[in-house]
Structure 1
Amino acid sequence: MTGEQKDNEVRQFTVDADDEGVRLDRWFKRHLPQIGFGTVSRWARTGQLRVDGKRAKVEDRLTAGQVLRVPPGGEDSARTQRKRRELTADDEALAESMLIHRDKAALVLNKPPGLATQGGTKTNKHVDGLLDAYAGEDEPRPRLVHRLDKDTSGVLLVARTPGSAAFFSKRFSGRSAKKIYWALVVGVPEVLEGTIDAPLAKQPGTGGEKMHVDMENGQPAKTAYRVVERAGNKAAWVELQPFTGRTHQLRVHLAAIGHPIVGDGKYGGQDAFLTGSVSRKMHLHARRLIIDAPKGGKLDVTAELPEHFAQSMEQLGFDISLSEAAPVLTPPPERSRAEKKQAAKAHAKQYRKARRGERRSRTKPTGKPGAKPKGRRK
């Protein structure tokens, strides 16, 4: 958006490329949020609002280069501009340390483990609260367009303008963005490369804080994986690409095949922790993001491992260069409805069998009268 904004004069704005195709009322919400929808509608009805000199309607869609005439005033006292968040020197330093790429459309951060993406109950420090550090006085506040779990590290893309936010959001929701994750898992999958196709749903009784495989009522969830290297039978380094974006998808899928992510006690219990000096933190890292750029071409960004993950890789003897030369995983061909149903039944049977074995191991007799079976810590 370019133009002048004076309190007592008619204002003119030239529509930017970022606002191509946006409805007129949406344009006001993006650039003049202090002017309410009722005021915009009244201006349109009375002919005060014009595009290229012609009367405009609130539902009209704008084209880059058009000139928008806006009457003076109209500010709604109840819709004041958001004040910039006051950041400490430590906040500013943290924000600067995370930044790994900047262009006109996007910022790309390497989010450290333990830092939430957004705030919530008892969560005061988060990425969203640091975004003012990246915006100048006359620039719009950057916007989150996707999320990472608090304990997951790595590539996090932030849009710098409302238009680029809409553009990137469509790429994530349309699943054209490629996200490559690295994980250390307990044990080694028998099948070294494949696809986990298991629907996910919120686990009852957890308040929506935990997900589980639900073949009957779950939402479709698909993850491609490849074992890059193994440390005997103790652990494996796995490369992952989710083709859907369900909550905790990678964590639940890996736990469901019997190989939880190292450090993920929520889904792997005590079995998710390795003995010795390997860190007990989560070993899941968003390593690489490949996504279309608004001006054409691709944005392809890689994030370095956090310290605890890098140390664990070294301790287990893994060679990072083995993955760097590997091609990006490609989605498997779409299966027919009958094939999907058959695969779901097979996975459900395998899952029930694994659970029966788990229950039997929990209820082995101790030999002591009245003794209770030992259960896995949760």
Structure 2
Amino acid sequence: MINSPHANSGVQLLEIGPDAAGQRIDNFLRTRLKGAPKTLIYRILRKGEVRVNKGRIKPEYKLQAGDLVRVPPLRLAERDEPVPLAQGLLERLEAVIVHEDKSLIVLNKPAGIAVHGGSGLSHGVIEALRQLRPEARDLELVHRLDRDTSGLLMIAKKRSMLRHLHEALRGDGVDKRYLALVCGAWPSARKQVSAPLQKNTLRSGERMVEVDEEGREALTLFRVLRRFGDFATLVEAKPVTGRTHQIRVHTRHVGHPIAGDAKYGDETFTREIRALGGKRLFLHAYSLAVPLPEGGELRLEAPVDEMWAQALERLSV
């Protein structure tokens, strides 16, 4: 057990256990030194104030089990006094946890909530869960969902589970499926979209992803679930690769953008869906199957929210 520092803490000697082995020293310190700005962490690393086995190390050094880490005295916020988050947000996230065990949390993330702070946001799901589960000292996102995408999101409570799931995600061990409401009549014969994707950053700083022959290979499998005449189609999307904005860009690429997509969508289609009360991005991670370290499989499904359900109900009238 390694204790986090308190305000005005003295020199600390931290012995690295098996769960932290393989982690970069900078990431380890960011997790352990709650309240410490990244600039401070990199400064004490650069100046050699952090030592591993009495020697200087670089930020990319990977810890090994048994390493002895020396952390200098730091002035930090009390561990028990995190920046308080709105009680309503904490209660909302607690209510949407669909699975929790000793090493994993899976929740049905609402649309509109970011998975982590940054880009003008002070907090997201991971910051809120760290406040909800202060005893789980190694909480980390296993993967990400776009802020406006809802659905199943995995958060590891142990480093060993994080490593296991990252390994499964790199292969074909994790089965993630999404629901998407797309514009027009999706052809039943279109079972997949294979188109390489390239990230581009606009002058405004906004990140866009485009189909580009020079980009990375991307493959998404599709299945028609329900038709609303020629106006819209509910499809299941299974991303075989995990590229940024993959489903959103692939659907637009074949002429069937997702409802409510401000970045890649069709404004007229989105406006018509909004008139039915659908004021959100219609992309939802509804199904998840992951292998467990001890064998077997965890299979979960998460329902869509009331706004989604009501919009589809009005569409079918």
Structure 1: gaps (5+ residues): 44-57, 63-67, 319-378
CA distance in 2, matches of 1:220, 1:117: 25
CA distance in 1, matches of 2:75, 2:160: 21
Among 105, 108, 121, the residue aligned to 1:107: 105
Aligned pairs (5 A) from 1:155-304: 155-203=152-200, 205=202, 207-215=205-213, 217-273=214-270, 274=272, 276-304=275-303
8 Å Cα contact 1:33-1:81 kept in structure 2: no
* Identical amino acids, percent of aligned pairs: 31
Which residue is 1:49 aligned to?
A: none
Q: TM-score, normalization: structure 2?
A: 0.77
Give distance in 2, aligned partners of 1:111 and 1:210. 23
Hey, what's the Cα distance between the residues in 2 that align with 1:111 and 1:201?
27
Deviation at 1:210, TM superposition (A): 1.4
Deviation at 1:109, TM superposition (A): 1.0
Question: Which residue matches 2:58?
Answer: none
1 CA distance for matches of 2:92 and 2:143?
20
Between 1 and 2, higher relative CO (CA 8 Å, sep ≥ 6) is seen in 2
- Matching residue of 1:337: none
CA RMSD of aligned residues (A): 3.7
Q: Secondary structure at the match of 1:315?
A: helix
Taking structure 1 as the reference length, what is the TM-score of the superposition? 0.65
Deviations 1:192-228 (A, max 9, x none): 441100011124645452111112x111111000111
Q: Give the Cα–Cα distance (whole angstroms) in 1 for the partners of residues 97 and 257 of structure 2.
A: 30
The alpha-carbon distance between structure 1 residues 69 and 171, as it changes in their structure 2 partners (threshold 3 A), is closer
Amino acid corresponding to residue 86 of structure 1 in structure 2: P
Matched position secondary structure for 1:268 = coil
Residue 105 of structure 1 contacts residue 294 of structure 1 at CA under 8 Å; is this kept in 2? no
| Amino acid in structure 2 at the alignment position of 1:286 | A
Cα distance in structure 1, aligned partners of 2:180 and 2:207 = 22
Contact 2:196 2:216 (8 Å CA) reproduced: yes
SS at match of 2:308: helix
Structure 2 spans left out of the alignment, 5+ residues? 4-8, 34-43, 56-60
**Structure number with bigger Rg:** 1
Match of residue 40 from structure 2: none
After superposition, the Cα gap between the structure-2 partners of 1:203 and 1:229, relative to the gap in structure 1 and judged at 3 Å, is same
**Kindly tell me: are residues 144 and 172 of structure 1, through their superposed partners in 2, closer, same or farther at Cα, counting changes over 3 Å?**
same
More helix by share: 1
Match of 1:147 among 140, 144, 149: 144
Paired with 1:229 and 1:61, the residues of 2 have a C-alpha distance of 52
3-state SS, counterpart of residue 210 of structure 1: strand
The residue number in structure 1 matching 2:116 is: 118
Question: Counterpart of 1:234 in structure 2: which amino acid?
Answer: F
Cα distance in 2 for partners of 1:179, 1:24 equals 26
Structure 2 counterpart of 1:42, from 45, 54, 65: 54
Are the equivalent residues in 1 in contact too, given 2:16–2:64 (CA < 8 A)? no
